[in-house]
Structure 1
Amino acid sequence: MYSCSNDQLVYPPTASGSSAPSSSSSSAVLAVSGCSEKPTTLHLSSSPYENYFYSDCHSASQLVVTSPQPESDLEIIVPRLLVAWAAGDSGLLAFFAPKNGVNGSLSIEVLNDTSDEPLSGVYEQPSNGSSSGNPVVGISTLVHFNSSAVLTVPILGSIRMMRDFVEGPSLLYPEIQDPIRFASTQDNGARLSRRWLDNQTTTEMTFRPRSGGASAKVGNRTVDLEAGTYEFTATFDYPQLGQLSASEVLDSESQDLIITNTDQTKSLSFLSYTDKLLAGAWRFLTYFGRDSMITLLLMQPVLSQGEGGAVEAVIGAVLERINKTEGTVCHEETIGDYATYQNLQMNISSTDPICSYIMIDSNYYLPIVMENYFLKTATGRNRKEAFFAQESTLDFGNQGLSYEELALRNAEEVVRSAAAFAAEGGQTKQNLVHLEPDQVVGEWRDSEFGIGGGRIPYDVNTALVPAALRSIAALSEAGFFPEHPDWATTAAEYAEVWEDNSLHFFEQTVPQAEAKSLVQSYASDAGYGFPSQADEITSDVVYHGLALNGNNGQEVVKVMNSDDSFRLFMLNTTNQEQLTSFLNQSATNIRTPFPAGLSTPVGVLVANPAYGGQQVYAANWTNDAYHGTVVWGWPLAMLGAGLQRQLQRCSSSAHPDFCSDDSVYTNVLAAYNHLWDLIDANREHLSLEVWSWQYRDGGFDFVDFGSLTPTESDIVQLWSLTFLAITRDESLR
């Protein structure tokens, strides 16, 4: 971990080059105070968002500076400063408006001081009067306003509050906003601070003039800032997490990635801590079970193992947060100020964290990651007894329960959920796994129209359930779950039934002539101006719908998609006719240009609604919809790893039938290489959460998702960093 001692103070250089604090400095020490290693810094740009990261032995911070660009939609892109901290899933957000009233005229820029990096660390040891008893930490930098500005809306405390405001109906809550204190400083600056609902933690930001003419005037809960440069400082005093450095989060054989993939390994470190990995920065800067386990599935070959390593941090975090009654896996934790707020809404006076258990897919990843580590690696096999003997310690209601017991409860839930469909004569749609009755989301496409209102998701039923059962069988055979010795056989039998009998419920075959007509109508009605690519359809189109029992009485949600990746990556199915057909249609859809297929120059799309046949499909799956006709990084990685896995089966002595079918094998191999050509062409975007496109000048051009919608894309997303481990197999070219 980043190590430090508190026996020395180090001040950053001031504008004059002096090492002493200037008269305009805050009372906090702007420093890497006593840290034995240099801070880690990173600047990532995705217009109109400039992202700056700073980590030292005390804390980790992200600063996002947003300024409208000439092409920006001014109803979406507003000048703002945002700071995010991993500790407490907390931060602050300040929106600005141009004082002259002309939208688009105000820009904010971070400036370098005389130092090499624009951000400096803030550290102040707790004072005797500190309510929290924790050090004050954060960042300081210089920000320049090109014209006079008004700070219109500040939010201090919770990233979740910030996210809901940005992406939702922009609601502000009196119990959060009213306690914000506005104060002038002696040097014509301004300070905003707020005590959290825990009555201990304080978040604060200050603006201090650093150039002639700059001044900040506090008004009626607003701040007027004249044009000029200000020292901007953001701090809080909440307990910090133990961050893993880049060298600690990677295994010993992968240390060269720190040199060859510097930005990605720094990003991975920013999201990696001793007791959990975080989903993304800035919007999801906390534990998400699905995200961390998908990341582990794809990235395990390069992650550190053993006690204190990244692999056990992921698995331990999931076990700590299991619902001990149901055996279900926590999707998202609510911590910090937002947890206190949510507890108060339930008339509970508590700062205890809260977990959401609404996602059904998360339950099935845990047995798979357990098998991959505790059975398939030497370190995992050696660590099995010590790891599962640990008892839960976090405040999620499992204190005192062993990891072994919590893993058992999850496995029991998985087997229970699979039993009805696996029973003799039970292979009916009713017995497939459904979303929770009161939820419209339940797997990774967790936006309102992500799976079109479907109740029975494709990925869960055709891949995750049988893969989890396979893993439970393997774990049982290796001595896990002694309470259920029959699982070594029973779970394997269940898995085969699910593998062979779930896929056909989702299969859609569109006759060639109808398929051409559908894509022509879609291309015309969608209004983007791209060609229909109907000539690329040379046979019937086959794909698997996103879900069953969708909105508007749709028996199948007729959206071609990239979720074939789950089955490609997680299963070695043995039904030869089904496998050959599945691989052939998957490969064809990957290779075929959108809207006839999924391929675009900016990547393979996660959804293609062209075959829906109703206007609602084109309206709900768009290039500005979170799970619409957009590109996500990690499905590209899973598709690549899945196709490689299937092709490598052809090197075994008992290779599948498709390996001897020249047309199918050639198609799958071509899809693999086409996919990797697209991945290589979009390297600069791969760490993003999601990105989109615009069709102009006869082609598809990359655009930042956040330039099209208030739901911006995280510049760094945990599962989008999996290309550190997923690489092209050059022997398959």
Structure 2
Amino acid sequence: MSMRKSFGICTFFEPQNGEKGTLAIKLVNSTIGTPLASVHQEDDKSEYPFVGVEGVLSLNSSANLTLAILGSVRTIRDYTEGGSLNPLFQDAINVSKENENGVQFSRLWLDNTTTTTLSLEPWEDSTGKIDVHDKTASFGPGLYRFSASFNYPQLEQLSPQEVLNEESQSLIEEDPSQVQSLSFFSYTEKLLAGGWRFLTYFGRDSMIAALLLEPVLSTGNSSAMEAVIGAVLERVNREDGSVCHEESIGDYATFQNMQKNIVSTDAVFDYHMIDTDYFLPILMARYSNTSSDRVKPLLDTKAGKVNAKNRDLTWRDLSYISAQKIMKATEAFEKDPSIKNLIQFKDNEGTGQWRDSPSGLGGARIPFDVNCALVPAALYAISELAGISDVYPDNSDTKTWKDAAAKRAKVWEDKTLSFFQYNITTEKAASLVEDYTSKIDFYDGPAQTESLRKYSSAGKVVDYALAIKSIESPDKIIVTHTDTAFRLFLLDSEDDEQLTTFINASANAILRPFPAGLSTPIGAVVANPALSGNDDFTGIFTNSAYHGTVIWGWQLALMAKGLERQLQRCLACHAKRAPCLIRHVPAFCRDEGVYNALRSAYNHLWDLIEANSDQLQSEVWSWTYSKDGYKFSPLGALTSGTESNIRQLWSFSFLATYYCMSVLYQTLRPSTSYVRKGRSSSSVIPTSTIIKNTFPTHHSIISQC
């Protein structure tokens, strides 16, 4: 059980008969809760009350509680992923009898103030019995009451009503489970990334979630949107402008400080990611467009409440310092658009963007998403923000940013794609896919090579590398991927030749079924190495790899929104009775083959999303394949697979999409021919059916979303 603010308790039971799989543990409803209830107990000896959860659990047979971890979620995660337990934490756990029939596990934190406690005792008339020997507690079959609590200051949670804006309050009744989960992760000070494994602040996760959830998130003072922006600004590194990737607080922060010979309970911040910096101005610009009256009061906020090193600064100062870093880091490429001037991972760091597992980029250091999407989008945002009063200090630097940042953004937008693009003849691609299919052991279905000829460009498969290995060794990582969605979602490129090729390639990758492309009946996989001809990549990007041939819910949402954004650009061209002669409409809108591929990819992706709606709130999931075809599988259930968060912040992105489609449905109610039979406005409305009937005439509604 994990408790709020990244702290938790994890217990491991073993059957006394030694037979694995025979012990069943479950929560049961009781007069305490259904099945859980909250704990809130004042203590005269503590500055803060003891808070937590309690309930009743059932054991079907005798069991030993052999291990209890009382600490941070990070400590629990370290053990479950690597098996390591630090004696500094474990040796401090006290196990004692309580109330004759019960047992208590407790640990005083490294701050010598906070205590975590877990108590268990037989429930009412249950025949359960507890014996204690050293640090092992033995339980007979029966019902047991448990209570887990700690006395640590709590955050102020945003209720479902507070986390959503006024226009989307109907979602509380239409989708109570998702909204309640979103509320669970949302606080006035910050939003948390997911549960249970990442129940803490992650800058990237928060900002991506805010961008995708923008149509429904609350705005204004003490709102969800300002919680995200404020949390990011508060944690900016004043020395170099880096945006915080992850924070450690509480007991684990004290531990990390001790490792540096520092006696402190202050939070510890991780700044090693490179992508997180660029999301900040993008999100700030979006918010400034919709809530201009909040810019000054938000940025006037004094920093230092969480990051003590920022105490003499304001959030405006920190936004400026961060923007300065971006302007400095992107300058060289404008002068010399070459691989050596692309953004790469920081020295001595093996990860730097969202694919942050050790092999997430195949060992490469120069990622596609950062260079081809995030950098130009951030520069356009800085240009926009520089033209708004009260965002940045008024000085000689910022006076030039409005024009300079926009000019530089155009260079990054137009000059980066070519470094990542590659072309393979359909014959060669078919050979590579067939070879790949013969080597992998998790799929023995058809190679789907006919789709390479159907979804290609003049006899060639055009695609974009997941990354470039390094400046010294600029090999392209030939892995088909979903990170093209960042560029689709964040940019409206104007280089028609390049844009048309990119749109067609991105759409074709979605339309091609695995292993020739990204689509499976379980969703679109985030990576596919079939065209690489590289055995190492084949072994790295598997269906059990965290960033392999697996499905991430938020990536489905990002791709759907990206494809939708590009389709919106064709509205004037494809409106009823409107001739396609408008100059500002991109050329791909007038290319029937490319436009139809884009629209088909969007429709197909939404069919996949709708078919897998039960999984969308989770972090990541996978699949298996047999003679019966594809079958959903939790990632953690596969050999060497990592347990997924059951709920993930950015996976709630579909709340916004469903809301927008619901609004559109209500607007078009008199003409409901596009709604599939048996579906109501409160169910998942398949947007694939909306393109033809609504895009031409309802631009204003769709663009708001």
Same structural fold, with TM-score higher than 0.5 when normalized by the shorter chain: yes
The aligned counterpart of 2:679 is none
User: Is 2:154 aligned against 1:243?
Assistant: no
Correspondent of 2:4 among 86, 95, 105: 86
C-alpha deviations, 1:542-573, integer Å up to 9, x for none?
21111111699670111110001000000000
Q: Give the equivalent residue in structure 1 for 2:179.
A: 265
Distance in 2 of aligned mates of 1:588 and 1:163? 38
Contact kept in structure 1, 2:544 and 2:641, CA below 8 Å: no
Q: Deviations over 1:135-193 (max 9, x none)?
A: 0111111111111111122110211101111112x111111011100011234221100
Deviation digits for residues 267-291 of structure 1, max 9, x if unmatched?
0000000010000011111110000
Q: Report if the CA contact (8 A) 2:54-2:147 is conserved.
A: yes
CA distance in 2, matches of 1:216, 1:618: 51
Offset of residue 712 of structure 1: 0.8
The residue matched to 1:285 in structure 2 has which SS? coil
Residues 15-56 of structure 1, C-alpha deviation per residue, up to 9 Å, x if partnerless? xxxxxxxxxxxxxxxxxxxxxxxxxxxxxxxxxxxxxxxxxx
One-letter code of the match for 2:545? Answer: A
Shift of residue 386, structure 1, vs aligned partner: 1.2
Q: Which residue of 1 aligns with 2:305?
A: 394
> Displacement of 1:615 after TM fit?
1.2
Q: What SS does structure 2 have at the residue aligned with 1:152?
A: strand
Aligned with residue 107 of structure 1, among 24, 32, 50 = 24
Indicate yes or no: 2:315 matched with 1:403. yes
Alpha-carbon distance change, 404 to 201 in structure 1, aligned in 2, over 3 angstroms: same
Q: 1:552 to 1:622 in 2, by over 3 A?
A: farther
Structure 2 CA distance for aligned equivalents of residues 552 and 390 of structure 1: 44
Tell me, in whole angstroms, the C-alpha distance in 2 between the residues paired with 1:126 and 1:300.
Answer: 41
Match of 1:544 in 2: 464
Give, as a single letter, the amino acid of the residue that structure 2 aligns with 1:627: H
Opposite residue 410 of structure 1, the aligned amino acid is S
Matches of 1:637 and 1:452, distance apart in 2: 24
Paired residues, number: 641
Contact kept? 1:187, 1:209, Cα under 8 Å: no
- Cα distance, 1:213 vs structure 2: 3.1
Q: Does 1:413 align with 2:325?
A: yes
> Given the two structures, how large is their TM-score scaled by the length of structure 1?
0.86
Whole-angstrom CA distance in 1 between matches of 2:200 and 2:511? 36
- Indicate if the aligned counterparts of 1:453 and 1:550 stay in contact, CA closer than 8 A: no
Q: For residues 558-589 of structure 1, give each alpha carbon's deviation from its aligned partner in whole angstroms, at most 9, with x where no partner exists.
A: 11100010000000000000000000010011
Matched-pair contact (CA < 8 Å) for 1:254–1:302 = yes
- Quote how far apart the aligned CAs of 1:437 are: 1.0
Match of 2:196 among 267, 279, 282: 282
2:651 is the counterpart of 1:720: yes
Decide which of 472, 476, 489 is 1:569's aligned counterpart: 489
SS at match of 2:70: strand
| CA–CA distance in structure 2, aligned partners of residues 134 and 114 of structure 1 | 27
Structure 2: unaligned runs, 5 residues or longer: 454-458, 573-581, 662-686, 693-705
CA distance in 1, matches of 2:568, 2:351: 35
Query: Which residue of 658, 663, 685 maps to 2:593?
Result: 663
| Counterpart mapping for 1:167-316 below 5 A | 167-168=81-82, 170-210=83-123, 211-316=125-230
| Cα contact 1:519–1:610 (8 A) shared by 2 | yes
In structure 1, the residue matched to 2:80 is 166
Q: Aligned to 2:657, what secondary structure does the other structure show?
A: coil
- CA change 1:383–1:721 in 2 (3 A) is same
- Contact 1:388–1:404 (CA<8 Å) still a contact in 2? yes
* Distance in structure 2 (CA, Å) of the matches to 1:554 and 1:495: 23
Contact (CA 8 Å) 1:187, 1:208: kept in 2 or not? no
**Residues 2, 9 of structure 2: 8 Å contact kept:** yes
Q: Is the 1:274–1:313 Cα contact (8 Å) retained in structure 2?
A: yes
1:452 and 1:550 in contact (8 A); partners too = no
Q: Secondary structure at the match of 2:26?
A: strand
**Contact kept? 1:532, 1:595, Cα under 8 Å:** yes
Q: How far, CA to CA, are the matches of 2:126 and 2:214 in structure 1?
A: 53
Per-residue displacement from partner, 1:581-601 (whole Å, max 9, x unpaired)?
A: 000010011011001000000
Deviation readout 1:412-456 (Å, 9 max, x if unpaired):
111111110011xx0110000010011000000000000011110
Whether the aligned pair in 2 keeps the contact of 1:193 and 1:205 (CA below 8 Å) is yes
Instruction: Spell out, residue by residue over 1:353-384, the C-alpha distance to the aligned partner (whole angstroms, 9 max, x if none).
Output: 0100000000000000010011x11xx21111
**Does structure 2 retain, via aligned residues, the 8 Å contact 1:452–1:551?**
no
Q: Which residue of 2 aligns with 1:645?
A: 565
For residues 716 and 384 of structure 1, the distance between their equivalents in structure 2, rounded to whole angstroms, comes to: 32
Contact 2:339 2:471 survives alignment (8 Å): no
Give 1:400 deviation, angstroms.
2.3
Tell me what 2:516 maps to: 596
In the alignment, the residues of structure 2 paired with residue 207 and residue 554 of structure 1 have an alpha-carbon distance, to the nearest angstrom, of: 59
Q: Equivalent residue of 1:230, what SS?
A: strand
Q: Secondary structure at the match of 1:301?
A: coil
| RMSD value, Cα | 1.5
> 2:283 aligned with 1:369, yes or no?
yes
Deviation at residue 677 of structure 1 after TM alignment: 0.6
Q: Which amino acid aligns with 2:13?
A: F
Partner of 1:499: 413
What amino acid does structure 2 have at the position aligned with 1:499? E
Q: 1:95 aligns with which of 9, 12, 19?
A: 12
